């Protein structure tokens, strides 16, 4: 497949020794504006019942898409789902006011790093004019297949509070969250560029994400094999971060997570993904329950240091935990600024987060977790966030961007002192 590369020559681009390489993806996103009256009308027209509201049901048309959205709201879950027909995405998005943005974990993480003055290269599976019009001209990228077509993702941001009547009851919404709906053949194929190894040769930090959109387990195995081969070009001191996500296929999930985690120094996830691995919910303010969960995760995925980022705290558990403490704080600041300001968040907004208060319950659990063994466990409390219009889209992406920026900046500082 053809590939394309752009290396920035902009003198004002963030620079400095070393670089983060961020893969894999790049999307055009249709972020709809939640319209409770419209959603209620559609629920009535489609005769949606409480039993229809299952977040895990197949999505084959607009009715099942709406039922899954309401199912996530009912169970207070965020997530990402595959949609069998792109027409359902187009039909639902066309009914709403929407913003057209660009995303994917690697892209949004890179935009955060750019704001913080840390340069990166995005590994993009495909691009189109809509994407490139929005991608900053001073950012580097490598495209795996410049002939592939992008199909927009549908992004639904559930409000902080509200309710939607259904035929036999009511769906109560009491937590903001984000839902991603995808039919993305380019991402599903996950073509890797033949130039990937050359791009990794100078990396200090390498982020792996995006494999969750794959639907063919055999193809996923081949791509991971190719990824492993390309990663031989990484410098020995490079740090590899795998950011988890909601997989569209259980079979691909098992193949990809097992295969990629063995390549990673850091295995990062949010609270939804943590609880998916565990198979049950946990009390995120109970240090004992959290420690038990971490023990179970280390047994499932031995080797990498675990990072878990939640609305209450972010932690690192494993041998690299002390190294990651400052970067965890950077990730929390970046995600908090996005929660408050969305795409408009700036470096000044990120810095201003330090002026926010920390809820006592967040500090108590963070201190208790760190005290269990500071050599292998560090936890940073999250802030109280004063906003009437929160952005939940891209919080994990912003967190990992802040995390990676913190790691690169720390290594630069070490180099300057040596």
* 173 and 241 assigned to the same domain: no
pLDDT at residue 415, rounded to an integer: 63
pLDDT at residue 12, rounded to an integer: 46
| pLDDT value at 4 more than 70 | no
Q: Is the dihedral of CA 107, 108, 111, 117 positive or negative?
A: negative
Q: What is the pLDDT of residues 288-338, one digit of tens each?
A: 999 999 999 999 999 999 999 999 999 999 999 999 999 999 999 999 999
Residue 156 tokens read as 């639904």
> Which of 182, 201, 227 is the last residue in one of the domains?
182
* 253 and 351 assigned to the same domain: yes
* 110 and 94 assigned to the same domain: no
Burial, 356: exposed, middle or buried (Cβ in 10 Å; 0-12, 13-18, 19+)? middle
* 353 and 388 assigned to the same domain: yes
Q: Give the CATH number of the domain where residue 37 resides.
A: 3.30.1110.20
| End-to-end C-alpha distance for the chain, whole angstroms | 43
Instruction: For residues 64 and 44, give the distance between their C-alpha atoms in angstroms, rounded to a whole number.
Output: 13
pLDDT at residue 13, rounded to an integer: 46
Indicate the pLDDT class of residue 410, thresholds 50, 70 and 90: confident
Question: Would residue 8 count as lying in a domain?
Answer: no
Burial, 392: exposed, middle or buried (Cβ in 10 Å; 0-12, 13-18, 19+)? buried
Q: Which residue has the higher pLDDT, 144 or 387?
A: 144
pLDDT at residue 171, rounded to an integer: 97
Q: What is the pLDDT of residues 345-360, one digit of tens each?
A: 999 999 999 999 999 9
Which residue in 368, 406, 319, 362 sits closest to 118, CA to CA? 406
Indicate the pLDDT class of residue 5, thresholds 50, 70 and 90: low
| pLDDT value at 251 more than 60 | yes
> Which of 161, 182, 203 is the last residue in one of the domains?
182
pTM of the predicted model, to two decimals? 0.92
* 162 and 203 assigned to the same domain: no
Residue 110 tokens read as 């890179």
* 271 and 299 assigned to the same domain: yes
* 139 and 203 assigned to the same domain: yes
Question: Would residue 173 count as lying in a domain?
Answer: yes
Domain containing 190: what range?
18-24+105-146+185-417
> Which of 163, 182, 201 is the last residue in one of the domains?
182
Question: Would residue 4 count as lying in a domain?
Answer: no
* 156 and 110 assigned to the same domain: no
Q: What is the mean pLDDT of residues 233-239?
A: 95
Q: What is the pLDDT of residues 389-399, one digit of tens each?
A: 889 899 999 99
pLDDT at residue 145, rounded to an integer: 87
Instruction: For residues 62 and 59, give the distance between their C-alpha atoms in angstroms, rounded to a whole number.
Output: 8
Q: What is the mean pLDDT of residues 260-285?
A: 96
Residue 255 tokens read as 């193949």
Question: Would residue 1 count as lying in a domain?
Answer: no
For the chain, what is the HEC assignment? CCCEEECCCCCCCCCCCCEEEEEEECEEEEEECCCHHHHHHHHHHCCCCHHHCCCCCCCCCHHHHHHHHHHHHHHCCCEEEECCCHHHHHHHHHCCCEEEEEECHHHHHHHHHHHCCCCEEEEECCCCHHHHHHCCCCCEEEECCCCCCCCCEEEEEECCCEEEEECCEEEEECCCEEEEEECCHHHHHCCCCCCHHHHHCCEEEEEECCHHHCCCHHHHHHHHHHHHHHHHHCCCCCEEEEECCCCCCHHHHHHHHHHHHCCCCEEEEEHHHHHHHHCCCCCCCCHHHHHHHHHHHHHHCCCCEEEEECCCEEEEECCCHHHHHHHHHHHHHHHHHHHHHHHHCCHHHHHHHHHCCCCHHHHHHHHHHHHHCCCCEEEEECCCCCCCCCCCCCHHHHHHHHHHHHHHHHHHHHHHHC
Question: Would residue 13 count as lying in a domain?
Answer: no
Give percent of the chain above pLDDT 70: 94
Q: Rounded to the nearest 5 degrees, what angle is found at the Cα of 387, between the Cα atoms of 385 and 388?
A: 145
Instruction: For residues 260 and 411, give the distance between their C-alpha atoms in angstroms, rounded to a whole number.
Output: 24
* 121 and 40 assigned to the same domain: no
* 47 and 141 assigned to the same domain: no
* 277 and 347 assigned to the same domain: yes
Q: What is the pLDDT of residues 150-185, one digit of tens each?
A: 999 999 999 989 999 999 999 999 989 999 999 999
* 37 and 122 assigned to the same domain: no
């Amino acid at each position: 497949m053809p590939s394309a590369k752009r290396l920035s020559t902009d003198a004002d681009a963030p620079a400095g020794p070393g670089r983060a390489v961020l893969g894999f993806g790049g999307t055009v996103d249709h972020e709809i504006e939640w319209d409770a009256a419209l959603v209620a009308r559609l629920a009535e027209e489609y005769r949606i019942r409480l039993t229809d509201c299952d977040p895990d049901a197949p999505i084959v048309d607009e009715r099942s898409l709406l039922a899954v959205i309401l199912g996530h709201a009912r169970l207070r879950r965020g997530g990402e789902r595959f949609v069998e027909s792109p027409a359902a995405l187009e039909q639902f998005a066309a009914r709403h006011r929407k913003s057209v943005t660009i995303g994917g974990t690697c892209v949004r993480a890179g935009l955060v790093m750019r704001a913080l003055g840390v340069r990166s290269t995005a590994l993009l599976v495909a691009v189109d004019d809509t994407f490139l019009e929005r991608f900053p001209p001073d950012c580097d990228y490598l495209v795996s297949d410049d002939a592939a077509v992008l199909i927009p993702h549908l992004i639904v941001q559930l409000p902080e509070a509200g309710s939607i009547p259904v035929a036999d009851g009511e769906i109560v919404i009491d937590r903001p969250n984000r839902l991603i709906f995808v039919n993305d053949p380019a991402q599903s194929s996950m073509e890797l560029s033949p130039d990937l190894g050359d791009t990794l040769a100078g990396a200090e930090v390498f982020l792996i994400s995006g494999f969750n959109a794959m639907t063919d387990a055999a193809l996923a195995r081949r791509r991971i094999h190719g990824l492993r081969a390309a990663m031989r070009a990484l410098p020995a001191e490079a740090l590899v971060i795998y950011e988890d996500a909601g997989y569209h296929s259980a079979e691909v999930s098992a193949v990809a997570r097992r295969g990629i985690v063995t390549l990673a120094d850091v295995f990062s996830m949010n609270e939804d993904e943590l609880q998916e691995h565990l198979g049950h919910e946990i009390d995120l303010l109970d240090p004992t329950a959290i420690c038990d969960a971490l023990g179970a995760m280390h047994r499932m995925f031995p080797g990498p240091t675990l990072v878990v980022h939640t609305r209450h705290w972010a932690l690192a558990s494993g041998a690299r935990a002390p190294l990651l403490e400052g970067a965890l704080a950077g990730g929390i600041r970046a995600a908090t600024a996005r929660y408050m300001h969305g795409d408009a968040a700036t470096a000044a907004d990120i810095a201003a987060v330090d002026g926010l208060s920390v809820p006592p319950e967040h500090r108590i659990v963070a201190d208790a977790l760190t005290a269990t063994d500071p050599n292998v466990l560090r936890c940073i409390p999250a802030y109280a966030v004063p906003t009437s219009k929160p952005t939940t889209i891209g919080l994990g992406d912003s967190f990992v961007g802040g995390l990676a920026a913190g790691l690169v900046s720390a290594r630069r500082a070490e180099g300057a002192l040596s």
